[in-house]
Structure 1
Amino acid sequence: MIQPERALHQVLEWGRSLTGFADEHAVEAVNGGQYILQRIRPSLRDISVRTGRDPQDETLILAFYRELALLFWLDDCNDLGLILPEQLAAVEQALGQGEPCALPGFEGCAVLRASLAALAYDRRDYAQLLEDTRRYCAALRAGHAQTAGPERWSYAEYLHNGIDSIAYANVFCCLSLLWGLDMATLRARPAFRQVLRLISAIGRLQNDLHGRDVDRSAGEADNAAILLLQCYPAMPAVEFLNDELAGYTRMLHRVMAEERFPAPWGSLIEAMVAICARYYQTSASRYRSDSAGGGQRSPA
């Protein structure tokens, strides 16, 4: 398997072709991507007999890390204004359609999409990745616009949008595309679609609970805890969201126990439940909200 230092160098080299790309985007992508792949590697080895896809193939691993880095970069393009609005619109169009960006300074977008198109084990996954990217970009835009608009969302509206803006669907689809996890077939099962929404809701609530203090200090309202307190100042919002998180987690475990999806989906879903805690505990920049990194951002 490619060493983290070498992988980080490769992702940074690719990212230099994206205006506004920062070292942080590559660091978090490699850290998180490595953790996910470590958790599912035994299953990937087992299914490689069918797919012929080596879990330690450097080309596949780097493509996965770059997709994760792209998601971090897109999030910051929306939240931090790394690029101009017209540039962001062109980037979103290119990534959602799998075409070169119409503006200079974003060559890495076309490089990554062309790479994933060529590597796709199942072409349906590539088509779905484009659709998931369109949904992710739209959710980021909607969240940003809502916080600046005159009308507040309800909690239900916020969570509905937040499920897409957490980008877990992109992560899963990219893994399926690269290692032949048959996600396109599984999506036809209602229980699998339910799992995708449950795990994404869990990720969104984990994110917002962890980042609420930083978001409040920064004047950021795109957070479930902040939204609830704005609507209901006396509400014990943190306790409510922790109960919500526990409930979604129980429902997820029940569906997973009843359905028994093929490998590596069990270990992959478990990894995604745990990954937020890992990020929050280990990230030196993006995910810290304690005294060691109190001025830093919370996750997407």
Structure 2
Amino acid sequence: MSAISSAMRQHAAALRALLALTVVLGLAYPALIWVIAQLPGLQDKAGGSILEADGKPLGSSLIGQLYTDPDGNPLPQYFQGRPSAAGDGYDPMASGASNLGPEDLVDTPERTSLLTTVCERSRAVAEFDGVDGRRPFCTGGGVGAVLSVIGTPTATRVVSVNEPCATTPRPFLDTYNGVRVECAEPGEDYSMGRLVPIRGVATDPQVPTDAVTASGSGLDPHISPAYAEIQIDRVAAARGMSPERVRALVAAHTDGRTLGFLGDPTVNVLELNLALDGR
């Protein structure tokens, strides 16, 4: 009998704890957070920071958007955001990064390495915005400048692993340590060699880092002032505006460092493009 009574007391205690935690964490805490979110300065962000025109929602200032045509080509009259690895681009339901790191150097038939992806993006941005797209560790053809150096201690063979012979008239480098550089033969394994990225002559690329790399969330709505600057002439020409007028709009939508010392200045692309449209 005492065992049954003890079990009932334990169950009653557990039930009281469940009810108390439900009230505190399921009702009181969410209500407190909701009240705090309604305070001035927080209400807009808690509501999603939705930007509207004529009563119609156009997007959130916290989430980037694509400015492309139906074929995925960037529209010249709009400032472009940074690349996104979230779904097809800025998909909040697929937020995330590529999870590729700085040691991802070699292209494979299945996928392109992070280094070559950066090189390709730099070249594409340069052509679109009329700037110099050269950057360290990239070939002139827009792939990762990486050699497989085979043989120890003296190299006996050197292969440019990201330049297939079928598409490369000649490797980006003629010789390495006195050994002729070869192009890569399809299907051949060069993993036995030592991977050597070649920095090249480009030291101060005109295409900024945020133009060629995605953010960790894939949703970043901001770009750097440097990336905005190289787009000004292209946007101005497409819209028939003066570069000075476009530059003034960029300055008006540039935010300084958080609290004056954290992070870097940023430009909100959605707000800037809406201002260009007069919305």
- Asked whether the two chains share a fold, i.e. TM above 0.5, the reply is no
Larger Rg: 2
More strand by share: 2
TM-score scaled by length of structure 1? 0.24
TM-score scaled by length of structure 2? 0.25
More helix by share: 1
